[in-house]
Copies of this chain bind each other. A is one copy, B any other.
Amino acid sequence: MSAIPTHVLAEISALVGNDQITTRHEDLHCYSYDGTATPHLPEAVVLPKTTKQVSGIMQLASRYAFAVTPRGAGSGMTGGVVPLRGGLVMAMTRMNRIIEVDAANQIAIVEPGVVTGDLQRAVKRHRLFYPPDPASLKYCTIGGNAAECAGGPSAVKYGVTKDYIIGLEVVLPSGEIITTGARTEKSVTGYDLTRLFIGSEGTLGIITRLTLRLLPLPPHKETFLLTSTSLQRTTEMVSEILNAHIKPCTLEYLDRTTIGVVSKFLTTPPTAETEALLIVEIDGERPVVEEQARRLQRLLAEQPEFSVRQASNDREVEEIWQARRAISPSVLTLRPNKISEDVAVPRSRIPELVSFTEHLARDLGLLILTFGHAGDGNIHVNIMLDRSNPEEADRGQQAKARLFRKALDLGGTLSGEHGIGFSKAPYLGEELNEATIALMKRIKDLFDPKHILNPGKIFPQS
């Protein structure tokens, strides 16, 4: 990969303005990492404000063949925004306008730098609802969510980011500007390029505008905290709830160790006998919610391993969510480092996956936590370790490899919502066959023949 010639930095500066590009060492540090905590320094950071600027920068990148790594807030978990080959980081955070909320047609048009939580609040004023809710929603951006196809707890009922994006404007590595999709929910004009960009982790193009579909805001919600004395029964309960025709909008699970880490956020911490928690939320029209809540209570009344508490006010709900969202940052109080994985399995196989991780922890002498989106089989597995101990780091890598193999054996996938980035790239061939990977690589070559856009991601490096 070429370095960025000095005169090109000047050209970019002229294009975007002096205050939208930096090469100061302190600034470069801020744009060198994501949730994987494996920093690589870029040569420069640019913060474009318009699609035209993005296009101009890509024309230069194409001509001089330097790497460009687009990014949002950098909250990713697989290294998607880490500028592995140096070059230019393109931070989309200043393209952060909500251009339009079309309430009559339940559509929003936004720039990629809009913070997910800000969008949710903005559409709520129109009694509308943007469901995807990654744990980082207070700072992550819609563009980053789209690039990684972010999920979140609500996915069990509402699906993930891709289910809410109906059109895109994208700048290709060549600088060409294309549009995909339509303003209507149904459109079959030509190939579905929208979905090809979503989840492509910034390797095919840079998203500069998104058309989002919205839902009517559910008028009512109830939140339940289920405390269980049996891990096995808790993971089984996930399918039992869904098969009882209860359709929760949250079905989150926390194992014993995870509970220990976040119990300080709860006014009434779980008792010592607690082996697992389930957070269950039901939303919708009030009569439906009430009917489903009764069904849940009936189902659980027959289960001696469970006790149920229904949140009686917003403060109690907020407390539960504060604890849930604090998991990722808080686990580092246990050990200095973590390998954070998000395999998904068909949900009937969750009990097997979770008991396998217990076995793995014992076998390798590691602390392993499991929690996350049980309702859609997307279990977050945190392998805790101290990277400064090479032997322990090696055991961590062994645990990760065995976890992936098990998830695939159970009919699952390497990643439910975090993406492949560089951290899972070496394992791609365990899930996809050779012909499939070869086709994906040919698509990458077609879009980005010089491999300037986010190099080193998704595909195993030779």
Contacts and interface: CB of A to CB of B under 8 A. Distances in A.
Determine the interface band of chain A, counting residues with CB < 8 A from chain B.
35 or more
A414 interface: yes
Nearest to A196: B196
A262 B446 CA distance: 51
A105 to B, nearest CB: 4
A133 interface: no
A107 B411 CA distance: 12
Interface string A140-160: 000000001101000100011
Given A184-B376, A432-B179, A190 B104 contact: no
Interface string A405-438: 0000001111111111000100010011101110
Interface stretch (A27-35, A310-318, A345-353, A394-402): A345-353
Contacts of A204: 191
Contacts of A442: 446
A199 interface: yes
Contacts of A285: 245, 288, 291-292
Contacts of A424: 189
B288 A243 contact: no
28 contacts: A104-B348, A105-B346, A105-B377, A107-B346, A148-B188, A159-B185, A162-B192, A177-B433, A180-B436, A182-B412, A183-B412, A184-B377, A184-B411, A186-B416, A189-B424, A190-B431, A190-B432, A190-B437, A190-B440, A192-B196, A193-B440, A195-B196, A216-B245, A245-B285, A284-B288, A285-B291, A288-B288, A439-B447
Given A188-B415, A439-B447, 20 more contacts: A176-B439, A178-B439, A182-B344, A184-B376, A184-B377, A184-B378, A184-B412, A186-B373, A186-B416, A187-B344, A188-B417, A189-B413, A189-B424, A190-B428, A190-B458, A191-B200, A192-B198, A245-B285, A442-B446, A443-B443
